[in-house]
Structure 1
Amino acid sequence: MVRLGVNSIKKSQKDKSVQIQVLMHYPHPNYDSEKDVHDLQLLKLHRAKESKNVKYLPLANVIRDPEEGTKCMVAGWGAVGLKKLKMSDVLMSAILTVIKRETCNSPKYYNSKITPDMVCAGTRGKTKKDACEGDSGGPLMCNGVQVGITAFGESCGVKTKPLKPGVYTFLSKEHIGWLKNTMRKSEFF
């Protein structure tokens, strides 16, 4: 089951939220958990309907690779701290900045692990914000378009030195093709 239209997990929102049954899981066929590549999965839901509190994000045919310095938003109900990894009761979001792959691939950060199908985004300076445990699968939105999916990172952007950015699966042309082809074959609509 998934819940749509929810802002608070604990507070009753029966008039705003809807529980929907997950009919099928479609993990990307080339997903590799050791290399963290192609980290995305499609869920087929039973009759999800758009409403005042549930809106669809259109899936573009091509998504431009976000340039370094682009401001993006990440959202989720993941942990709000590292000590207890307690999940947030309310939907949280943070504004992050895209970091170019060359920088993210340096030995200082992820040492050649970042592929063209990934986007790095984080914060600089004193502000320390990032996705955390439990946010995986959430959206990375840049300029009003979903460009990525929360994948992995280190220490939720608060403990590491240097501060490592989060890594997101980029909705590349190949990934969009797989999503659309899977939906077409699986009679999503």
Structure 2
Amino acid sequence: MAKLVCVLFLVAAVACANAVPNRIVGGNPTVIENYPSIVQVESRTGIIWGQSCAASILNTRFVVSAAHCFAGILNTRNRRIRAGTSNRASGGVVVSINRIVNHPTYGSNQMDGDISVIQLASALVYNDRIQQVPIVPQGFELPDNLPVVHSGWGATSQGGLASAILRDVTIYTINHDVCASRYASLLFPRRVTQNMICAGILDVGGKDACQGDSGGPLYYDGILVGIVSWGRGCADPVYPGVSTKVASYTDWIVQTVSSL
């Protein structure tokens, strides 16, 4: 796995070096210093703001998340991000959103293309709680049974309440064909495309992302390899959680950040 390369967004340049719809189910409490690139996405209903999704910091002016977190009637004035805090909906720094760019294929093939680049209205300031994330290179294929990590503030059980503090959980990548065939067998089949990663504890369950974790990171060794997208419930033993495969969109992310 030493061949993994990190893509660092430094203004519009890309530097390469050796890389060192959810609350977490079956995980443990953690602190933002362990995951300083994760931020909360908050939505406003009336005058009330609440955490609805998560995102990852690309650089001081951009974050990446799931497109389904930024679809629908809520515009940039009703979305913001909160960075640098372990606590849900409190602490850290709050930054408004300037522009949202959902992937152009999102919505045309079920959940394919579920990725969004978000431009912030003002720059983040890096510290031990706020840092950019290295992302996987375009086209990189993760092997099966690789330990990967979710972090977030989502529900700790299907239909449960959101977590008040950041949590994480280690799960494993699952063979794409196995995952795709299981979702295809549903009464209302769901499509698992080559632009998606399945991860969980197959035929055991109990560990997963859940409601409120959407848009948040799936890491391998601190590298962003996936973005929480969808699944059948949470921590289901038969149907693993599905994340957007970042390696299918790395070039698009770079191009989008560079063009704004």
* Contact in 1 for aligned 2:213/2:228 (Cα 8 Å): yes
Q: Which has the higher strand share?
A: 2
Q: 1:110 deviation in Å?
A: 4.0
TM-score between both structures, scaled by the size of structure 2: 0.63
Percent identity between matched residues is 28
Distance 1:80 1:104 in 2: 23
Alignment partner, residue 151 of structure 2: 75
Runs in 1 of length 4+ with deviation above 4 angstroms? none
Relative distance call for 1:42 and 1:80 in structure 2 (3 A) is same
Equivalent residue for 1:26, pick from 78, 82, 101: 101
- 1:167 deviates by 0.3
Match of 2:255 in 1: 181
3-state secondary structure, aligned to 1:183: helix
Q: How does 1:132-171 map to 2 (within 5 A)?
A: 132-158=210-236, 163-171=238-246
- Correspondences of 1:39-188 after superposition (within 5 Å): 39-45=114-120, 46-62=122-138, 64-83=140-159, 85-106=160-181, 108-111=182-185, 113-124=191-202, 126=204, 128-158=206-236, 163-173=238-248, 175-186=249-260
Alpha-carbon contact 1:75-1:140 (below 8 Å) kept: yes
Kindly report the root-mean-square deviation, in angstroms, between the aligned alpha carbons of the 2 structures. 2.0
Report the secondary structure of 1:177's partner residue: helix
Q: Secondary structure at the match of 2:234?
A: helix
Return the letter of the residue paired with 1:59: I
Asked whether the 8 Å contact 1:63–1:147 carries over to 2, the reply is no
Query: Which consecutive unaligned segments of at least 5 residues does structure 1 have?
Result: none
The AA in structure 2 aligned to 1:169 is T
In structure 2, distance between residues paired with 1:136 and 1:167: 10
Cα 1:61–1:41 change in 2 (3 A) is same
Higher relative contact order (CA 8 A, sep 6+): 2
Residue 60 (structure 1) shift:
4.5
How many residues align? The count is: 176
Preserved contact between residue 75 and residue 92 of structure 1 (Cα < 8 Å): yes
Over residues 55-108 of structure 1, what are the superposed CA-to-partner deviations in whole Å (9 max), with x where a residue is unaligned? 11123443622110000001111112224x3111111111111001110111x3
TM-score of the aligned structures, taking structure 1 as reference length? 0.85
Cα distance in 1 for residues equivalent to 2:108 and 2:241: 16
1:144, distance to aligned residue in structure 2 (A): 2.4
